[in-house]
Structure 1
Amino acid sequence: MFRILLASALALPVLAGAANATPPQTSMFLGKDTLTISKGLESLGYEVVSIGVDESGAEAEVRNGEHLYDVTVDMASGLIIRVEYDADLDGDV
């Protein structure tokens, strides 16, 4: 019994870290303007490093702990269309 409790206690921080490292999900509605998109990402627990608009839609670079993601949102539908892991904090969107 003690071994099971000890194993559970040791695994909990590992599982919690993995849960925090999940990227935003595609097809999730965030909004149709940069302010709403930024607030939506912040409400999901991400820090918005930079956000901009180009021909592919709104692109935001977000941080979750040490993990960085580039999130692209279709401005017409307000849905996330692409999420990519970003290896460097360069502020490019």
Structure 2
Amino acid sequence: MSALPLLQHVVDLRFLRILAASPLPRRVPVGPAFELVLAYQAAGFVELAIPALIRTRAGHAIQPAAVVLAVTPMGHSVVARNGSLSPTSRSEPWVAASIAGSA
């Protein structure tokens, strides 16, 4: 049994569909969408650049935005099997906020 069907139930693929239909590279700020692209990278759906943490003089750590470089062939096949979602269709509010923050 493939792990892919299980992963599709565990990981929200709506943002992957948006990424596949969007021009890349695309910045993804820290937040729920950032967590999703990390999961997509672990699943092999996207190529991702994650800058190193920035340490401030006060000792705080700042995580810069991740950059989605490409949707992999596997990511495109997952999107194709599940239909398509245009970037302008209705979605969760945090997805819209992530898109606005990464433009």
- TM-score normalised by structure 2 residue count: 0.24
> For the pair shown, which has the larger CA radius of gyration, 1 or 2?
1
- TM-score normalised by structure 1 residue count: 0.25
Q: Which has the higher helix share?
A: 2
Higher relative contact order (CA 8 A, sep 6+): 2
Q: Which has the higher strand share?
A: 1
